[in-house]
A and B are shown apart, each in its own frame.
Chain A
């Protein structure tokens, strides 16, 4: 079964850092573009960051609210995607989902979601 398994949610103080990870199973992510999407409880979905496959150059892109603070990366030897979150703000709180980008461009596989709470 194709899955993305999350880990790394938690409670963080404003201004602090936190790292999320997401491990793929049931498929080889080496050729996949991967993303992070977040959701404030009771609100809609917000794309956060995307990393291309290393075979496509490994380029990264970020949503404006997180650019310069978050870093998306991947370790294909471990089938794992990461999101390093720095200088966290209360508005970064929410559920973070890792996703796979389908060849068409839609997000066809989603992880279960990691809860990140930024609060003093």
Chain B
């Protein structure tokens, strides 16, 4: 089973700042990685698939990068609606489809 590790668990940032969220796989997953955003009381929303392809309707300030075992979600110029929990997920080796434990972005 592939284990996904996200860091850090929580980040406190100000509006307008940029941020890079990290996700590491316990073994190579090629580029079969997705990023999701979840706000309180809502279902997760797909942001990035294929490690770097933005899903439909996702703003350009969200950028995914990486391959193999190390991946990054970069958000430039944080907006108020970006403060949420972000999860990475691998879909290279399944079952199971494994998620990271999440990184929470908080407003400083």
Residues of A with Cβ closer than 8 Å to B?
35, 44-47, 50, 61-64, 97, 102, 104-108, 110-113
Contacts and interface: CB of A to CB of B under 8 A. Distances in A.
B32 A105 contact: yes
B100 interface: yes
Contacts of B102: 44-45
A110 B45 CA distance: 7
Interface of B: 32, 34, 36, 38, 43-46, 49-50, 53, 55, 87, 89, 91-92, 94-102
A102 B46 CA distance: 10
B88 to A, nearest CB: 10
A96 to B, nearest CB: 11
B44 A45 contact: yes
Given A44-B101, A47-B96, A106 B87 contact: no
Given A97-B43, A106-B89, A47 B98 contact: yes
Contact of B91 (A44, A45, A63, A105): A105
B97 A111 contact: no
Contacts of A46: 99
Contacts of B50: 104, 106
A102 B53 CA distance: 13
B23 to A, nearest CB: 13
A110 B89 contact: no
Given A105-B91, A107-B46, 9 more contacts: A44-B100, A45-B44, A47-B97, A61-B95, A105-B92, A106-B50, A110-B44, A111-B43, A112-B43
B62 to A, nearest CB: 14
A104 B96 contact: no
Output the residue of B43, B50, B89, B100 with the most chain A CB within 10 A. Answer: B43
B34 A107 contact: yes
A13 B45 CA distance: 31
A37 to B, nearest CB: 8
